[in-house]
Amino acid sequence: MARHRNVRGYNYDDDFDDDDLYGQSVEDDYCISPATAAQFIYKRDRQTSFTEPLEEEEDEYEEPDKLKPNDSSLSAADQARLYSCLEHMREVLGESVMEQVMIDAVLKSQFDVAKALDIVFKQDCNKNIKPANQDIITERPTKGKTRGLQASEHEYEIVPKMAKMIVSGKKQTMGFDVPSVSSEINGQSVKGQTNEEAMEEADNGLQSANPIPSSQNTEEHSSIMTPGKSSNKAKQKINIKEELEKRQGGKHLLNLVVIGHVDAGKSTLMGHLLYLLGHVNKRTMHKYEQESKKAGKASFAYAWVLDETGEERQRGVTMDVGMTKFETKSKVITLMDAPGHKDFIPNMITGAAQADVAVLAVDASRGEFEAGFEAGGQTREHALLVRSLGVTQLAVAVNKMDQVNWQQERFNEVTSKLGHFLKQAGFKESDVYYIPTSGLSGENLVKRSQISELINWYKGPCLLEQIDYFKAPQRSVDKPFRLCTSDVFKDQGSGFCVTGKIEAGFVQTGDRLLAMPPHETCTVKGITLHEEAVDWAAAGDHVSLTLTGMDIIKINVGCVFCSPNEPIKACTRFRARVLIFNFEVPITQGFPVLIHYQTVSEPATIRKLVSVLHKSTGEVMKKKPKCLTKGMNAVIELQTQRPIALELYKDFKELGRFMLRYSGSSIAAGVVTEIKE
């Protein structure tokens, strides 16, 4: 049975893809309009409404017969009017509504097209069938919106269930799943529409029409992924911009890093958020609760969602960046949970280097905030680091507010102290948002809080809403391909996998890439985005690539993959403009430092202090200074032991930034100005 369906599903798919462009509208000369196809195939899969399709099929066959008796009862003039009305309505409705229904409506409304349409829509609503048609929406935007709202309510009900599938490890592969195939067609039928709202509307329509939870997940993705896949079969080069727009027409991708002092509750905050969003099923959560209680740290249960290694759980400290994804209303978020402990700042930097926006968690409880904020705490260092790594938008989660009884005074105290500092650090006041939260009790995370102590004075958004409000950054898709490796591992099958964020450009399966510094080429065999195989990916995506034609030994964390035509430069000596942080020891030449560049950390020495610059004007104030002290802006020359792949700041903003660290503290942030050799 399933196989049979599958074949049918696929045929539709291929028919569509083989000869076609995506910018096509619904009204094409196909034997079956996509809308009808959607309706029918859908219903067949839906186990809940087995009877419906049968009825409708009957309707269709009977149509001509039914028409006659009706016609006969009308005068010739009326008949003419009826046909003209029907024509009008068909234009509006397409063929998604039965002719008989239309005729009835027309007769009821006494040949008034507008009224007839109204009647049809009302019926539709009752049936909960929504034709995905452009014209309706353009004519009736208000309606679309109300539906959107309904749908979003549904969404919350649905999401947890689908997430369950993921966590329990059942991957839904495309092609074997009927709903996904049918929805592909649906998705495609919608593709032609330029209107974003239209797309959402259609999607939502599908969801509400189809309450099977598991399909919702695949539906969304497949509607996103399929175009790439099919196009690849047809032709090698795809217009990535167009593709991206289409994909992003759905949801923007955003990379988010969670930072803050150790024990500020970063992992718990995010673990709880994921739980509330339904990305962790109840059983797993229950298991965590039991186990953490057994281990004597019950409050760490939510953190265990993200801290997965035994070591991390045992010590109750995040050690490496935990990565996962979730969705908000308008965005797909790649979440990186950075470690807060001082010793793991290198790990935190690799996470932050890949982020677009950040959530800074601070502990609001008395003494704890101060400890994290004063010298030696990581609140300042983390904030400075993410700012230097190019993050401009920041949400401050003032966490553990429940421990101070949601006092407004405490919140204000914390925010004013932080605000002052963040302004100094270079964040715009308008880009920093403060949200009182409680990671442990889950207050104000995904829903606005109901706690009276809080709503008395706090009217702002909850954390999830705030994340949703973040502006997605511009991606440099036009530039040559660059990917910084953050992880290398062996997977099943041939070749090996590297993961990382695509900093610029795009990649397709089958592309040849050049790895620097080893200076070796390889072929991309597969691309995985959020655990789903795709055929292309572009700047901003956090992907893993399956590579062949190269030895895994040659690739280390920190290698940069780039397009062979426009390779990245590898060098051991370069000049950079740096800003010295609040670091006590003066920096002289010969200073051994650790350079953190994207995902690389490499020992280097300061070879030369070239000049000191004026902070705001950039004029050279002194050449060959004796030493650099805190707050100075200077040009220096750095020498690394092994070559590292670098880009100039002026060419690639994302790839020209680096950090310098010395014996466990960050001493400077810099941008590459000149590559020597």
Q: Does 589 bind other proteins (CB under 8 A)?
A: yes
Query: Of 51, 72, 490, 492, which lies in the binding site for other proteins, with binding defined by CB under 8 A?
Result: 490
Q: Does 235 bind other proteins (CB under 8 A)?
A: no
User: Rounded to whole angstroms, what are the CA distances from 657 to 73, 108, 387, 538?
Assistant: 80, 70, 11, 21
Query: Of 108, 428, 624, 676, which lies in the binding site for other proteins, with binding defined by CB under 8 A?
Result: 624
Residues 569 and 640: beta-carbon distance below 8 Å? no
Query: Of 46, 266, 475, 661, which lies in the binding site for other proteins, with binding defined by CB under 8 A?
Result: 661
- Give, to the nearest 10 degrees, the angle between helix 240-250 and helix 196-209: 50
* Closer residue to other proteins, CB minimum distance, 196 or 308: 308
Q: Does 367 bind other proteins (CB under 8 A)?
A: no
Q: Does 620 bind other proteins (CB under 8 A)?
A: no
Strand 569-580 versus strand 322-327 pairing type: unpaired
Give the torsion sign (CA, 27, 30, 31, 34).
Answer: negative
To other proteins, the closest distance from the beta carbon of 321 in angstroms equals: 7
Query: Of 629, 651, 653, 671, which lies in the binding site for other proteins, with binding defined by CB under 8 A?
Result: 629
To other proteins, the closest distance from the beta carbon of 258 in angstroms equals: 15
Q: Does 588 bind other proteins (CB under 8 A)?
A: yes
Only segment of 46-54, 85-93, 304-312, 501-509 that touches other proteins (CB under 8 A): 304-312
Phi-psi region of 530 (alpha: psi -120 to 50; beta: other; left: phi over 0): left
To other proteins, the closest distance from the beta carbon of 562 in angstroms equals: 20
User: Which residues touch 600 (CB under 8 Å, ≥6 apart)?
Assistant: 484, 557, 558, 644
Helices (H), 295-389: 310-315, 345-352, 368-373, 378-388
To other proteins, the closest distance from the beta carbon of 279 in angstroms equals: 10
Residues 461 and 435: beta-carbon distance below 8 Å? yes
Query: Would you give the binding string for other proteins spanning residues 71-90, x where CB under 8 A is met?
Result: --------------------
Q: Does 601 bind other proteins (CB under 8 A)?
A: yes
Distance CA 200, CA 131 (A): 13
35: tokens are 């809308």
Query: Would you give the binding string for other proteins spanning residues 144-173, x where CB under 8 A is met?
Result: -----------------------x-x----
Q: Does 506 bind other proteins (CB under 8 A)?
A: no
To other proteins, the closest distance from the beta carbon of 30 in angstroms equals: 41
Distance CA 514, CA 158 (A): 43
- Positions 342 through 361 that interact with other proteins (CB under 8 A): 343-344, 346
- For 436-466, give the DSSP string: E-BTTTTBTSSS----HHHHTT--S--HHHH
336: tokens are 């990186």
Bridge partners of residue 546, in order along the sequence = 497, 526
To other proteins, the closest distance from the beta carbon of 490 in angstroms equals: 7
The distance from CA 348 to its chain's CA centroid, rounded to whole angstroms, is: 20
Query: Would you give the binding string for other proteins spanning residues 326-345, x where CB under 8 A is met?
Result: ---------------x-xx-
* Closer residue to other proteins, CB minimum distance, 250 or 339: 339
Residues 493 and 510: beta-carbon distance below 8 Å? no
To other proteins, the closest distance from the beta carbon of 590 in angstroms equals: 3
Query: Would you give the binding string for other proteins spanning residues 508-537, x where CB under 8 A is met?
Result: -----------------------x------
Distance CA 34, CA 187 (A): 10
Distance CA 16, CA 101 (A): 29
Distance CA 655, CA 539 (A): 12
Query: Of 224, 323, 513, 534, which lies in the binding site for other proteins, with binding defined by CB under 8 A?
Result: 323
Residues 323 and 639: beta-carbon distance below 8 Å? no
Query: Of 181, 594, 644, 659, which lies in the binding site for other proteins, with binding defined by CB under 8 A?
Result: 594
| Half-sphere CA count of 601, side-chain side, radius 13 A | 17
Query: Of 192, 607, 621, 653, which lies in the binding site for other proteins, with binding defined by CB under 8 A?
Result: 607
| Contact residues for other proteins, defined by CB under 8 A | 167, 169, 308-311, 315, 319-324, 341, 343-344, 346, 486-490, 499, 531, 555-557, 584-586, 588-592, 594, 601, 603, 605-607, 624-627, 629, 661, 663-664
